[in-house]
Structure 1
Amino acid sequence: MPIEQRVVSGPKIGGSNKIGGGSVSATPAVEAEKPAKKSRKKLLLIAGAVVLLAGGAAAYLLLGKGGGEPAAEPAPVPGAVLTVEPVSLNLAEGHYLRLGLALQLTEEAGEEAPDTARALDLAIALFSGRTVAEVSDPATRDALTAELAHQLAEAYEGEVMDVYLTNYVTQ
C-alpha cells in the first residue's frame, strides 16, 4: 500500500481556503514578530551603551585629566654648542660636498663634550652618494638636516637636541 504524505503549510495567498482541512493558528505570525522586536531592543541597548561609553570617556579626558592633554615631557634646555671640523664627502658623478657641523647639546649633556665621531659617521652616511642637485636644493637640504638631527638625538640619547650646518660647499 502506498504511503501518503501531507505537508501542512501556512496560510495561502488569496484568502482563508485551507487545504487538508486543518486549521493554522495565528501564533506563528506573532512569534515571527517577536524576534524582530528583540533584535531591535538589543540594537538599541548596544547603541545606547556605546554612546554612554563614548560620553564617559570624553568626560574623563576633558574633566578628569586636566583638559585631555597627555603629560608631555619638558623640552630639553639648550646647553653648549659643539663645533665639528668640516669634512669633504664624495657625491655622485665625481662631485664633492664640504660639510661642517655644530651640535646643539642639552644642559643634561654636562660639561664634558661627547665624542663627535658618531655625528660625523651619521652625516657621511646620510649625505654621501647624493647628486649635486639633491644637496643644492634648499628643501632637500632642510629635509636631510632634519633627518640628521633626528638620528643624532637617538644616537646621543638626548644629549644632542639639534644640528647646525656651519660649512656647506659643493663642487
Structure 2
Amino acid sequence: MPIEQRVISGPKIGAKIGGNASAAPAPAPEPEPKKRRAPSKKLLIIGAVVVVLAAAAAAWFLFFQGDGAPAEEPAPEAGEVVQVEPISLNLADGHYLRLGLALQLTTDAHESPDPARALDLAIELFSGRTVAEISDPTSRAALKEQLAHALVEAYEGEVMDVYLTNYVTQ
C-alpha cells in the first residue's frame, strides 16, 4: 500500500499576510563590485627598495666585476743580479756540463738569496741528459724556462729570471 505524503506550507516569507502567496519574490540585490584599494605607503617603499637594490647589484656585476678574469698581478720590477759560481754536472755517457748561473732578483728581495737552492734545482734539471739534448738550442731554451719557473717558485717571488753565464759541454 503506497503512502502519500503531503507538505503543507505556510505563507511565504516576505509576502503580505492575507495577500497573494503566489506573488513573485523580490529580486535579490546585486553585489556591489569590489573597489580597488590604493597600495599602502609601506608597500610602495618596499617596492622602491627592491628596485634600487636590484639596480645596484646589476651595476656592481657589470662595472666592478670586469669580464670575470682574475686581475693580473703587476710584473715584478728587476732588481740586483746575483752571480752563482759555475758547477760541473754529469751528463749521460760520461760527458759533463759546466753550468754558470746568474739570478735576476726583484726589487722586493730584501737580502741576497742563498744560491744553494738554485744550484740544487739546476743539478736536478740538467743532470743525466745527453749531450745532444743539452746542445740543441730549442731544448736548451726549454730547460732554461723550466729552471726559471722552478726558481720563481722556490724563492717565492724574490727571483724573477735566470741567466746562463757559463754553458760548456764535453
TM bucket, shorter chain: 0.5 to 0.7
**What is the CA–CA distance in structure 1 between the aligned matches of 2:169 and 2:98, rounded to whole Å?**
6
1:120 aligns with 2:119: yes
Q: Which residue of 1 aligns with 2:87?
A: 87
**What is the CA–CA distance in structure 2 between the aligned matches of 1:81 and 1:116, rounded to whole Å?**
12
Structure 1 136/64 Cα, relative in aligned 2: closer, same or farther at 3 Å? same
Give 1:81-160 correspondences, 5 Å limit: 81-110=81-110, 112-160=111-159
Q: Which residue of 2 aligns with 1:71?
A: 71
- 1:60 Cα deviation from its structure 2 partner: 7.8
AA at the equivalent of 2:87: V
Computed over aligned residues only, the root mean square deviation of the Cα atoms, in angstroms, reads 1.8
1:21-57 Cα offsets, whole Å, 9 max, x none, are xxxxxxxxxxxxxxxxxxxxxxxxxxxxxxxxxxxxx
The structure with the greater share of residues assigned to helix is 1
- 1:68 Cα deviation from its structure 2 partner: 5.0
The alignment of Structure 1 onto Structure 2 pairs a total of residues equal to: 112
Q: Which structure has the larger Rg?
A: 2
**What is the CA–CA distance in structure 2 between the aligned matches of 1:163 and 1:119, rounded to whole Å?**
9
**What is the CA–CA distance in structure 1 between the aligned matches of 2:64 and 2:156, rounded to whole Å?**
33
**What is the CA–CA distance in structure 2 between the aligned matches of 1:113 and 1:168, rounded to whole Å?**
23
- 1:65 Cα deviation from its structure 2 partner: 2.8
AA at the equivalent of 1:82: V
1:169 aligns with 2:168: yes
**What is the CA–CA distance in structure 2 between the aligned matches of 1:62 and 1:79, rounded to whole Å?**
38
2:149 aligns to what SS in structure 1?
helix
**What TM-score, normalized by structure 2, do the two folds share?**
0.61
Query: Which ranges of structure 1 fall in alignment gaps of 5 or more residues?
Result: 1-58
> Percent of aligned positions with the same letter in both sequences?
73
**What is the CA–CA distance in structure 2 between the aligned matches of 1:142 and 1:62, rounded to whole Å?**
42
Query: Which ranges of structure 2 fall in alignment gaps of 5 or more residues?
Result: 1-58
Q: Would you say the 8 A contact 1:61–1:68 is kept in 2?
A: no
Moved over 2 A (4+): 59-70
